[in-house]
Structure 1
Amino acid sequence: MALPALDPADIAALDDLLTDDERAVRSSVRQMLDKSVEPHIADWFERGAIPEIRELARELGSLGVLGMHLEGYGCAGMSATEYGVACLEIEATDSGLRSLVSVQGSLAMYAIWRWGSEEQKQEWLPRMAAGEAIGCFGLTEPDHGSDPGALTTRARKAGSDWVLDGRKMWISNAPYADVAVVWARTDEGIRGFVVPTDVPGFSAPEIKHKMSLRASATGELVLDGVRLPASAVLPEVRGLKGPLSCLNEARYGIVWGALGAARSSLEAARQYAIDRVQFGRPIASFQLTQQKLADMSLEYIKGYLLAVHLGRRKDAGLLRPEQVSIGKLNNVREAIEICRTARTILGANGISLEYPVIRHQNNLESVLTYEGTVEMHTLVLGQALTGIAAFR
């Protein structure tokens, strides 16, 4: 039997790991992105804004990728692996766009879907799944990032109402969100609140002058005596279990998404090396360039195999948070190294937005840090390996 032809863009035949349904998801997401986003994304990154963000959110909703791994309430109910494949394709276009999808589905929507009341679910989830309402997730504070248990945003009882005071920082989607899931300290422990962004005392000023995730709007959340009814609290959870469960969902999407940025940069470098002629021949013919391409390909392949493995475990209900940390730590760390190496192959052209590499590299500097820094995920694995917590 003749061996199948070798595809230089998929030398390990990773495509064979996916089911027909997973490949169909990938194809539909890629088709939408190629039509509606790819022609504009470099300009959006340079401008630091997506001009028609609500129209794009509705298009993503029509595609079914907002909260796509959740069941009911207008959500697509797809598998974890299908969600992962979608994240990979979205981040191959831009990490900022994947951040929009992740914050919407894996943080804001998941918090309401997992911990909210039926009234909260009915009010928000169908609109969010359709892209008619945009959500954000308020956990990180100006002085509390890796240590969310020390958060200082307070919620106090005022009769039957709650009154919230505090600030959140580095909140994706905040400037245009319709609803914020906000975590605050109460006399009963840390609680979550579903906060419509048009309530008095709430504001979300945008953070400017970013050099990373420029196509994703980031802001503060300022809560100055925000009064909410008792029905605003997430009734099914107390303590850090609530926000950490949401972060675990988002981290899983990053395991896949970072590979998209890596794949885009690797393919740009491979094609550039074939086309670029120096000393009378393509730079792809030089051994050092081939070594770079080979090493980048190996790390991408290993990361992809890890992502598929974790996706299958998640679909089987067997995925532990420590295993998500393995994927987040490895895949983002290797993806940013792939981008940096790809940049060296492109030379000076590597810093131009005519190519996607520097945009992906800059974006991954944020992805490397958010949803748990390299240091924190390293210590998670260290504790799993030794049984000793080294966080403090």
Structure 2
Amino acid sequence: MSLVANTGKLAGRTLFITGASRGIGKAIALKAAKDGANVVIAAKTAEPHPKLPGTIYTAAEEIEALGGKALPCIVDVRDEKQVQKAVDDAAKKFNGIDILVNNASAITLTDTAHTDMKRYDLMHNINTRGTFLASKLCLPHLKNSNHAHILNLSPPLNMNPYWFSLHVAYTMAKYGMSMCVLGMAEEFKQFNIGVNALWPRTAIATAAIEMLTGDTSTSRKVDIVSDAAYVMLCKDPKTYTGNFALDDDIVTEAGVKDLTPYACDPKNADNLLLDGFLDDPVAKTQHRATVFSVAARRYHTSAVNRKEEKPQAGAGGQIPQLFDAISKTLSADLVKKTQAIYQFNVKGKEEGVWHIDLKNGDGSCGQGEPKSPPDATLTMDGANFADMFAGKLKPTTAFMMGKLKIAGDIQKAMKLEKMMKSLKNKV
């Protein structure tokens, strides 16, 4: 639901949007199309994805149905020739390019040890290099426009070590996009080209996020980002440049008084999941700055704790009882769906190490470290741990609030959210 009215300021303007076949990129394209803008859909998706809807051709149909003009281009932003051809075709068809939106991005939320170099190269080649390349090749046309903008979907440059410690490769790749804003805003001032960054304050409900977490109830709709992008792209590029903006700040400044309609679930409008790279305003900066050292602690277990055994029913404490209940819910089907091994470092009154193996056989769980190396190691206080398995606290929420520390494959860790939905009625 768009809460920012279209003004017609982008009518006849040409937008070159990378990754515009779905999600945020497409939402920005559709918002501009309502003004009668020309949109170049520069994306790889020419054939339907088995799990994610939308292609460059279906996006083009939607753009033209709203009154815009579309040029679908098959573009891998890593390929200089493909980007150059799309830029040339756009300039020829629409007589120039006024606005570049660098939206295409790749994400792998893994720590250093679990980031293979193929994924590292993918993130850096799409995020940082792709943004630089598209900006470089569009520059000659932007110089000729009287309303030239570059907008990167990238975060503020937050130097809190916490955001590097979680997934240093991804952080570097996204910050590369932000550094393009920092440098190009100053470099291109002489050409009256506005260069800015836009980032959502909360998680945004895209098909990719839903596929990853299985839940968008604490997210906002893509409309808040497309509304914010529209407001930014309508500003005078001569005076509006070098900004690292957050979506809700922009729409609020534009006059939106109630952000509730942007929430996927209005009941959670005041309890939304913060997006990455933004420090929790409730938590002190000092807390965030010390997270790295906390996450780096290692838990040493005794020979007894290392034994592979199911917890005894009725054993003292909340955690043993919880794992006894979990052990009764494990199945080959759950193993097939999850394919991950988890180690839990529990702190507080019931300090200890536990595990759930959802990769082998019919699954197993117990006290001590798993027999095979864990895909993800989760560290949290015992009370929060119990709330998480009872469905009172979602893993993604706990993670973003700093209550849960994750080492290893964060994407597999977030699969716990799906698993817990099947467990919470039984645990």
TM-score tier (shorter): under 0.3
So what's the TM-score if we normalise by structure 2?
A: 0.22
Q: Which has the higher helix share?
A: 1
Between the two structures, name the one with larger relative contact order (CA 8 Å, sep ≥ 6).
1
State which structure, 1 or 2, has the greater radius of gyration over its C-alpha atoms: 2
So what's the TM-score if we normalise by structure 1?
A: 0.23
